Amino acid sequence: QVQLQESGPGLVKPSETLSLTCTVSGGSINTYYWNWIRQPPGKGLEWIGYIYYSGSTNQNPSLKSRVTISVDMSKNQFSLNLSSVTAADTAVYYCAGGGYDRSDYWGQGTLVTVSS
């Protein structure tokens, strides 16, 4: 069974870069598409972007200029960098994996708060 675990700082200062890593266990990272999805407190889900093991990526157009998603096959991990954060980026960030059109596997989520 594929399992995912997010890791990274829970507090980021405004204007800085949010960096998260997702570690995949129970399966190889060169099998699925890997997504980042976030959920502001009390609100709905927002897709951030995905990466395939080949390095091919796509991002939400509303975030594209600030988002970098990368993959490290040697560590079975993929990562998210979101630059120039503001309070509006405060959310639970989920990593997820599956087909190109849906995610079968999800991490538990990690709350990232943007505050000075």
Question: Binding residues for other proteins, per CB under 8 A?
Answer: 35, 44-47, 50, 58, 60-61, 94, 96, 98-104, 106-109
46 neighbors 36 (Cβ within 8 angstroms): no
Q: Which is nearer to other proteins, 48 or 114 (CB)?
A: 48
Q: How far apart are CA 113 and CA 108, in angstroms?
A: 16
- H or E stretch including 74? none
Angle at 54 between CA 98 and CA 34, to 5 degrees: 25
CB neighbours (10 Å) of residue 89?
Answer: 20
Decide whether 58 or 83 has the Cβ nearer to other proteins: 58
Beta bridge partners of 109: none
User: Residue 46 Cβ, how far from other proteins at the closest point, in Å?
Assistant: 7
Placement of tokens 């093991």 in the chain: 53
Beta carbon of residue 87, minimum distance to other proteins (angstroms, whole number)? 21
- Residue 4 or 29 with smaller CB distance to other proteins: 4
CB 43, min distance to other proteins, A: 9
CB of 41 to other proteins, least distance (A): 12
Cβ nearer to other proteins, comparing 58 with 76? 58
